Chain A
């Protein structure tokens, strides 16, 4: 295992210089990528403190993405649950319908500064692919999105959206033909086209500096939520809840609250058919540490170290790894990780839709499912913030299909 970072547990200063969060993170890639990762890191560290860059980012977040996103007090649902007051951070109202665009805008601006004319991305459900194709269209960049052949079949509408936006969508036929294989293929493209290409990773995983860079672009969620709850309720929340696939919406909400020790933090993984069934996507709850996709983190793997296929009704959670900072926050105990099953998520999907008139993404429905369990155990003057990371329009076919309806 890598040497322990010398910085204190759950410090917001992490990672260390080589991208380690305790024993997790780092850079586990073939040598050819080490130089380009150094170059990316240098550029990132330069621009993240550059007033012109930040002004351009803020401008785009305000007028292209539509930030700040509201913090909405779900009074009807809170009343039904009979406990804590639930506030929803409305990332579903962002342009393209999810939190993903916060990051793609940031990375595209960085790509532009680095003189890269071509961007590539991996995608599972297609949300990150759409968010990447969107910024590529806006900045006039060539865009190639890698997507598992199996996911292309399941997510035809997002595939067409990306094509409308001018992106080339490449079907990945290797391995399990899903998100992890798309990530492998995007890495292969990057190593082949390093000079011209910027790889926009969609989550807080991958080799350093991706986990910290994507986190920094997503912490706008938590910074806004913190100010909004202070404004609306006059105090910090008692708990935060977010779903965790790779973990970018979760870390975005959590990070600005890590040092608020009285705020309990919960990450909810895709429990699939239940952790006992083996058919799930919950590496933090039921996996073990290993190395995949450039970082050390918790993984779903077999006894020989081969990565195993995951299962979740939500394509955005269907990934065998998780961001290394989450692995660290699990080990330090600062964040509690749990899971919600497909069935629990679907129940919450319907409940929020009917009671609040908000149709959540199936990913976000996992966070809602945990709120549904937790809120009734708390007093009515307690506050929970749930990250509503995306809208559910993309999932209508899945939900209808499960109910035997063709739309």
Chain B
């Protein structure tokens, strides 16, 4: 059983919903990332999503674009991101880590090399934003061979047939994009999410995480009522951006948002 599947299983038994913070690796500088990952776990994160910076993050809103630009000023590469995961694993064997990014850096490294090195570094799953199931066959095969979960995005525009297809090639969990738009927009509608989740659940047994537009404890709690996992990205990355000129304080201060969300989500489930 993969670390992701085991984590969801354990959470289910405890009646707890997963909280998954997203940060861009190397933002605002590489030395912040590993301490911040540990601090997010301490604040109540169950899985971590680590963004691989890319020069052309087409599906991201301004907050995560800016995070990519800050990281790329330090020329943070996919190799370095894997190094960060390896360092994180020295003291955390338990928390699953999912890489989230775009295909081109993986293409340049080569699918098999990437899958092997990622698994070796302690990565558990990979979400490639611009890789729909139609194009994913070869990368998914390489990832499966290395024991990694391929995590797919489902969207309000996804048909039942597409969801079944993602469930068949994917593993770990399914990431549902809560609205038509880019990351960080303010368009969350919990009722429409709930409706789509029942459609998704009819098509797959994979746990379903919901992301895009979850900005505070209240929205995290309302999504926790209907989903298996809550993903928070832009709201957290905004706090990191505000603290960019005092990087040492980021692991201390930014995870407060995660602690607030954790408390609100747990209150729902009690």
Contacts and interface: CB of A to CB of B under 8 A. Distances in A.
B162 A30 contact: no
Nearest to A18: B134
Given A31-B154, A32-B155, A174 B69 contact: yes
Contacts of B134: 18, 26-27, 34
B180 A34 contact: no
A26 B135 CA distance: 7
Contacts of B57: 184
A55 B79 CA distance: 55
Interface string A154-195: 000000000000000000001100001100100110011011
Interface in B87-139: 102-109, 129-132, 134-135, 137-138
B222 to A, nearest CB: 22
Nearest to A195: B180
Nearest to B105: A305
Contacts of A289: 107
A291 B129 CA distance: 12
A305 B132 CA distance: 19
Given A175-B55, A184-B58, A30 B130 contact: yes
A29 B132 contact: yes
B62 A174 contact: yes
Given A174-B65, A291-B130, A28 B135 contact: yes
Contacts of B78: 304-305
Interface in A252-311: 289-294, 296, 299, 301, 303-308
B61 interface: yes
B109 A307 contact: no
B55 A293 contact: no
A32 B156 contact: yes
A3 interface: yes
A233 interface: no
A405 interface: no
Contact of B75 (A31, A32, A304): A304
Contacts of A33: 157
A192 B56 contact: no
A194 to B, nearest CB: 5
A1 B131 CA distance: 12
Nearest to B128: A28
Contacts of B55: 175, 306-308
A181 B60 CA distance: 12
Interface residues of B, number: 45
A36 interface: yes
A34 B158 contact: yes
B69 A175 contact: yes
B181 A3 contact: no
Contact of A31 (B102, B109, B132, B181): B132
Interface in B142-169: 152-159, 162
Contacts of B79: 304
B177 interface: yes
Nearest to A184: B58
B54 interface: yes
Given A184-B56, A292-B56, A32 B104 contact: no
A31 B153 contact: yes
A206 B131 CA distance: 14
A301 B108 contact: yes
Q: Which of A292, A293, A307 has the most CB of B within 10 A?
A: A292
Which A-B residue pairs are the 10 nearest by beta carbons?
A35-B157, A305-B105, A305-B108, A32-B155, A304-B77, A30-B59, A31-B153, A306-B55, A192-B181, A31-B155
Given A35-B162, A191-B180, A290-B108, 4 more contacts: A2-B137, A31-B162, A174-B62, A194-B180
Interface of B: 54-59, 61-62, 65, 69, 72, 75, 77-79, 102-109, 129-132, 134-135, 137-138, 152-159, 162, 177, 180-182, 185
29 contacts: A18-B135, A26-B134, A26-B135, A28-B132, A28-B135, A30-B129, A31-B132, A31-B154, A31-B157, A31-B177, A32-B181, A34-B132, A34-B158, A35-B159, A35-B162, A181-B56, A184-B56, A184-B57, A192-B180, A289-B107, A290-B108, A291-B102, A291-B130, A294-B130, A296-B107, A299-B104, A304-B78, A305-B108, A306-B55
